[in-house]
A and B are shown apart, each in its own frame.
Chain A
Amino acid sequence: MTADRFCSGDGLSWTDLVTNVVKLSGTRSVRMAQAMATWSSAPLDLMQSYLHEAAHHAFFFSPLGDNLASLYLSSTLRSQGLASNLQVKDGNSVSRTFSDETVRLARIELMHHDVMKEVLRPLIEGIALFAEFDATCRGATEYHTKPMVSALHMFHNGPIAESPPQEEERVRPWIWLHVFMPVLREVRLADAATSRKAVVYGLPFGLDGGGYLLGYMTVCRAWEKLGERIPLFRSEADLFFGYVSDFFTRDYSLIALLLDTSIDDEREFLDRCIAHIAARLDALVNDVRLVDVEGWYSPVLRDGNDRSHSEDPAWLLVSKRSDVLGRAMEENLRRRLRSYESDPLRGRAVRELLWLLPNRRIVPVWSIEAEIRVAGPKFELTVDGAEIMSGAVQFPNVKDGVGAGSIDVYFVMDEPPTLGRICLISRGGDVIAHWVLAIDGYIERLRRDTMRRIVRRRSAGAVFDSFQQAVTGYVERNRANRLLQLPTFRAEVADVYSRFALWPLSGAAIEEHVQRMKEFGIVAALEGDQALVDHLAFLGLSRSVSKSGELYLNGDEQQDELTHRLDEVSKRLGLKLVTMRGDSIVNHI
């Protein structure tokens, strides 16, 4: 299996940081194939997985994500392991001798990549969980994140019951409130959503298991604190999701730290990463003002562009000096990577990999094997024996006959309006048919610009797979003794997040909660009471899709009693879960 082809059907959904390949789980079904191949809306039970992975994609397809991926490539390209596995055209192996400095830099680059990735992991997962459970557009702003816009494309492709308003400026808010919100409501109020959130509540409150709960509570608390100063964030949680993502992924002072190979000691680099993330979290919750947020998305207001943001680092509280430094270091890294292109041994692989970086905007999200029968101008497609569709062969020179093929779906994560969804039907190396779904007027452009890139992305993905295999030994050897595998250092990283996740607690109170929740998170804090766990999850999900973003007691005796019990537990433990203010319910997570 190549990195670019992914057969779904088992395990969990994931996104790869380097390639941005996305795998959506639970999708190897005839129902899904039918939906994807015929451009119906994708099944709603996939939406939360989709939002989670789309949030990862957006995080990785960013300056920080690009530099993490580039640093990984740089290190592995430098490595002797790769050279010893390369073969020249006549089939002979070639090994090379590298200088000590090259070996040292390769080691430092991989160490920086690994440490930064692991220090950021709770934050990355926390933001994705926030996208999955909380992000909402209520139409009060013209800004929408790519994950939300693409989810609208993916999950609402059907007729609209009512007519949109006549006034152009009211159409977009109307779409979010009257088209997307009902879809989101159906998904988040389903039992499955409550169960998914309960899973997160039961995870360890620490770095073990991926740092999900720690990261999610940190992001929720940041949202709550910022919402006190910037009420717009409270109703437009998608705006917060976009801002908090950019706050870290466009932070060139963080990128400068990542790329500073003069820090060759892992302990020192870990300390610097921890200090930086702590300072940024602190700045996020304490220093960001409404004017910063408005400055950040001012191009949206000025140009009406759905997803532009200002390049001025000041709006993300990054100094101009750090920004310039980080960008210069980024350019150095790019230049060095490009210098490998002329290498007789690595040149081709390097060219494909460097091409892949900006083209990660084409995201392979879904694929299923199919049997394809071609007879003259027509083809028929079956999956697991069920006929999915038939249609016209769109490309010349496709031979008659039956053979194994596939349906592949790609998302093009360009700025709107060229954001779209492309479906490819292919057999062997032949593309038989394809469909493009995009905003009217941009379909042709997307088809023209993207089809060639999709085909190349497939070959670049295959090159990356071979590359990965060649460097596996090198990477594993270097990762074997990372400090972050030791509990002491993992605890140091967790401490930073705990302080924000459990705000306003401090000192011994934090330690008490960390101990209580270290294995089973909030489930342990709620003494394993299933009704309370489910109700806490339900409250948060309900708030995310309520009209105003506010929650009130609803007169349902059983539910209101559970809410009161959650309030009592919160008070007793000093843990912010739910707070009652008269009839009003404040759900903190």
Chain B
Amino acid sequence: MSEVTPDLVRHLASLARILVTEEEVQKLTGELSVIVDSVASVNKAVSGDVLPTSHPIPMSNVFREDVVLPSLTQAEALSAAPDSAEGRFKVPAILDEE
């Protein structure tokens, strides 16, 4: 049976930086339990030594010539930012005041 509890959902949501209401926690706990129970079957599929596949078409060391190409200007890069100042992205406080 699934180990998905409301506490785990709260913890995962905080790791994923998503604020969740208590109502959402309850709903997600139920939904994720069902999904996790269902996907847990992958354990049964694998026995013995099987190499994992992370990429469907194996490629390694993909290089290209190191040539200078046009890129975004500073103004372009900042054009969609919610806030900017002095040519930089502006963010709210990084540290708590306390």
Question: Do A and B belong to a common assembly?
Answer: no
Q: Which residues of B contact A (CB under 8 A)?
A: none
Binding site for B on A (CB under 8 A): none
